């Protein structure tokens, strides 16, 4: 098997994930995750670990786990992140810091507006089906600029518009009733992007059906540092 920085070759990907004939057949081949991950973290444990980490961050009692040279070496050949986060690229929402985690713990997929694009979905499929994460958190945040842009009746310049267009449907039914910094729009976008994960992926719903994955939505409050579960 060819591996580069924890990634595996395409042939191994298909074989190990049981992707045969366009469907997942988990019983045909063991997954890389079940072969190599000796300490898998289930979705409930993963969510508790995140909430505990955010509470440490809030109380300024951070442990700064998994940030040593030893940790770098221990995950250099393979990664088994216990959670995947589809979060906004906003500089005020650094995922490892707000959850007090370290290297190899969180598979971060960050894009403005936490948009579930095809490339984001591909990354999340890799993190779950191959690397073994059993929890995806779609993490929106208070006062998200991308969501605020989607509330405007304007076309954003350049490729920003492509991004904003993927948020506009999430807020079209409520935008006439709310302010452009409304948490309602942020929460609507979290729900919408989760729905896109279900609609546009074959792998993620199958993992959910098999009890190997949960997807939850959460909102980060950039005023307080607290993460709220919204789904």
Q: Are 139 and 97 in contact (CB under 8 A)?
A: no
Taking contact as CB under 5 A, which single stretch among the options 29-37, 136-144, 157-165, 174-182 is the one that binds Zn ion? 136-144
Torsion, Cα of 108, 36, 207, 122 (10° steps): 40
Q: Does 151 bind Zn ion (CB under 5 A)?
A: no
Q: Does 167 bind Zn ion (CB under 5 A)?
A: no
Taking contact as CB under 5 A, which single stretch among the options 80-88, 101-109, 204-212, 215-223 is the one that binds Zn ion? 80-88
By beta-carbon proximity to Zn ion, the closer residue of 88 and 106 is 88
State the number of binding residues for Zn ion (CB under 5 A). Answer: 4
Q: Does 203 bind Zn ion (CB under 5 A)?
A: no
- For residue 116, the 8-state DSSP code is -
Q: Does 41 bind Zn ion (CB under 5 A)?
A: no
Tokens of 51: 């909430």
Distance separating alpha carbons of residues 126 and 108, to the nearest angstrom: 12
Q: Which residues of 72-96 are buried (b: 16+ CB within 10 A; e: fewer)?
A: eeebeebbbbbbbbbbbebeebebb
Taking contact as CB under 5 A, which single stretch among the options 142-150, 168-176, 184-192, 212-220 is the one that binds Zn ion? 142-150
By beta-carbon proximity to Zn ion, the closer residue of 46 and 144 is 144
Q: Does 144 bind Zn ion (CB under 5 A)?
A: yes
Tokens of 17: 């994930």
User: Where does this chain bind Zn ion (CB under 5 A)?
Assistant: 88, 90, 144, 146
């Amino acid at each position: 098997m060819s591996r580069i920085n924890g990634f595996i070759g395409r042939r191994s990907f298909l074989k190990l994930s049981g992707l045969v004939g366009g469907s997942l057949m988990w019983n045909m081949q063991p997954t890389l995750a079940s072969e190599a991950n000796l300490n898998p973290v289930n979705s409930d444990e993963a969510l508790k670990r995140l909430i505990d980490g955010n509470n440490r961050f809030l109380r300024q009692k951070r442990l700064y786990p998994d940030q040593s040279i030893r940790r770098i070496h221990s995950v250099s050949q393979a990664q088994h992140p216990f959670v995947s986060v589809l979060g906004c690229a906003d500089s005020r929402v650094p995922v490892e810091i707000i959850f007090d985690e370290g290297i190899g713990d969180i598979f971060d997929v960050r894009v403005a507006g936490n948009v579930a694009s095809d490339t984001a979905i591909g990354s999340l499929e890799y993190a779950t089906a191959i690397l073994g994460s059993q929890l995806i958190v779609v993490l929106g945040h208070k006062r998200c600029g991308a969501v605020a842009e989607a509330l405007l009746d304007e076309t954003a310049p350049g490729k920003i518009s492509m991004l904003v267009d993927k948020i506009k449907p999430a807020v079209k039914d409520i935008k006439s009733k709310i302010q452009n910094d409304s948490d309602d729009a942020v929460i609507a976008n979290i729900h919408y992007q989760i729905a896109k994960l279900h609609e546009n992926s074959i792998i993620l719903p199958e993992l959910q059906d098999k009890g190997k994955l949960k997807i939850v939505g959460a909102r980060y409050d950039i005023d307080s540092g607290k993460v709220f579960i919204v789904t």
